[in-house]
Structure 1
């Protein structure tokens, strides 16, 4: 029996192998039922709040079919680029169901978002002043930097004092001066401290900061807490206790609304929480290589397809689908990129043979969306399991895709 069981028959070992053989590897597979269950779980945890809105942080996975699926569930969309805004509109989201929260973009990109009619959160004083002078009639939200170090990796901690994200709460007097000088109105406050946060006190601390700021600004419509909810990467891994979090946060939110004098909308922006556990990345084993101190299982992929283990030192469980009952041995699973390219170091896995199919789990978030053509490799295909059927939702790239925008000159 495998050490980390698959969740249902649609994503059983046998079915994953069947899909892998049908579409070839490397291959991303997403289970829509897992996405739906995660969405409903979050909705249920905060069900006591009538004015609750969930906005999917689509940078986690922007496949158009996933966006359409979440839109049908009732989700809004959190975007960070004008291209994500456009994808959201293509997926059927109403402009007011899309929040655009960019960082270090030009005023021209923000003006494009105005033209498209979406909600906008601005996170620096320079752009805010330019925007207020040019478009005082268009209310915006403000992204606050609460000066909180959060998340399990510095690269995904975005609310600390030296972060490039958000307007420091020490700059609130300057913010008020800009609003007074330009006549610009704000309709909400936004905060996001980091990802993979299991300690609910971090969320509560951030909530206190944003409530303290928002109370001085009349006529806001929403308070946006971002996300950062941690999902488990192993069987006994920590995760965010949503029930405990909602119990504490709901009380604070209700107290704020009572003092504020009106109900405002509470917004959550989960990305990884909704899609990470839905994803399975299948790879073929090209070679088993023995060295003086290690046994490498080299596969037909690399950090050009899944960079999280190399970039964030993230842990992804790896299972041998082809030989689940084999004697468990230690392997270092590596890719075919001409760099240090390790998916898992010294992992105890059922005996791996050349030709076996391995499954890398928690591959639904920040995996395909961070892929590249490094080493001139093609990006892989994607499949979605929907209504008990598998659908190809992105074709594997070809040489034509690599050369699509190349312009040859006479040499």
Structure 2
């Protein structure tokens, strides 16, 4: 992998590349002071449009971007040029996807790489497998979903064990909607009519209860598709932590909503309800405002590099209404966590042994054994009574003279 990384045209992203990335994703660009790594306090007071602080809050996202692009692997077995020669090429694909989010993937790929009469971005097109990897990577940067095209095994290995599939005949909007589809409605609030709609108390699914009662290990994930994913076998639950990125998606959607002009096919990088629902799971469910939860959150930020924006309780611009809230995207995973708290999976050897012994078949066996023991004791008691009666009868028949 070191050899591949040294030959990777995306191995290092400059601050100017990151500034262009912000402009492509959210429509704003950090100031020159941030790009040149200069002090920014004067800039903030002189120009209210300066986005220096927003860029500073996105540092973990920039680290994530640098990590996934640093291991981009071109098609070395072909004489054709790679899909990327610089970060500008990747940003160009991001912009093209966002502007044409209602076109099928195969059409986007053919048009962008200069096939079917469209202008080419390079003298000759790249290998098809490299083109697919390029669009997978661009989609991952836009959404933070691990992405791959169907039937491309090497891309699946790069994307992860459970990547989201972006089929060649589906648009980017369709791909995003299919990643975390609306499955069930779970309302978080007081119990009142659980027969009609499952409900949970906000305090029942906090991180502190997941650790203390279910004995789960909290795992940081940069893949939004893995958020709240429970692994019972390994005793882990994944938590997506990039709240600073989620807020940027919401602010972008709000800006586009209030901007006059003709409608476009691309409204936001992610569905607004999915982003807002994810924020609620983080801010209201997992990390409520109490000393123990705050302490656990600070530990995760310090030791496991969770987004520091998670502890920011001042900015509530993303919040349109108070909980309870209907969870249409994450409801099933929240129910899985609730079930795990109610009936924790045995973790240690002793707990597993006790759990096996407490199964219904063992209860039946224990009951049967108790019945057999009772019968045996009854038979022994009857035998003793008979023996005592026989001894008494013998003494009556043959009295012993004193």
TM-score, normalization by structure 1: 0.25
More contact order relative to length (CA 8 Å, sep ≥ 6): 1
**Between Structure 1 and Structure 2, which shows a larger proportion of strand residues?**
1
